[in-house]
Amino acid sequence: MRFVPTPIPGAFVIELEPIVDERGFFARSWCATEFAAHGLNPRLVQCSVSFNKRRGTLRGMHYQVKPHEEAKLVRCTMGAIYDVLVDLRPASAGYRKWFAVELSVANRRMVYCPEGVAHGFQTLTDDAEVFYQMSELHHPESARGLRWDDPAFGIEWPFAETRNISPADANLR
């Protein structure tokens, strides 16, 4: 795996390093030792899948607060998404900055989202599926979110005209 730093400290785009032959390829997508060597949380306790029927669907921006902060490893396993991180850690050099990257079945990239960073995405295709691995179990009492259109962050989303968002996410403050 190749760990590519982002403008958000501790967040990485992770690219597979395939071993290719005439059958196709083989690549490692997770290694606790490599993650720990890069200073990332190697703990994984839960995996989830998000399936999204329509292009333009927006999910986020979500995170969990102490004592249940979570790191996420996110990969798009079908279709394509515009994946967004927002740094909410006051002591971070990236505080209040956002970063986005396209994740798709074609590019096979992943994003590591550290604790204290909000995560969300907008689908670039119909039938987009996203696979999450988390370092902490879901704790509803620690779940938080920020508005996708909060002017304090100024996130630039690709599809304003086709946005499909849940009432819960639309009502975040």
Give 43-58 pLDDT, tens digit per residue.
999 999 999 999 999 9
Catalytic residue among 38, 62, 68, 95: 62
Q: Is 95 assigned a catalytic role? A: no
Q: Which residues does 58 contact at the CB level (< 8 Å), separation at least 6?
A: 120, 121, 122, 123, 148, 157, 163, 164, 165, 169
pLDDT at 172: 87
- Largest CA-CA distance found in the chain, in angstroms, rounded: 52
Catalytic residue among 112, 119, 132, 139: 132
pLDDT at 124: 97
3-state secondary structure of 150: coil
Opening angle at CA 99, ends 158 and 103, nearest 5: 65
Q: Is 38 assigned a catalytic role? A: no
What is the third-level CATH fold of 2-170?
A: Jelly Rolls (2.60.120)
For residues 93-113, average pLDDT: 98
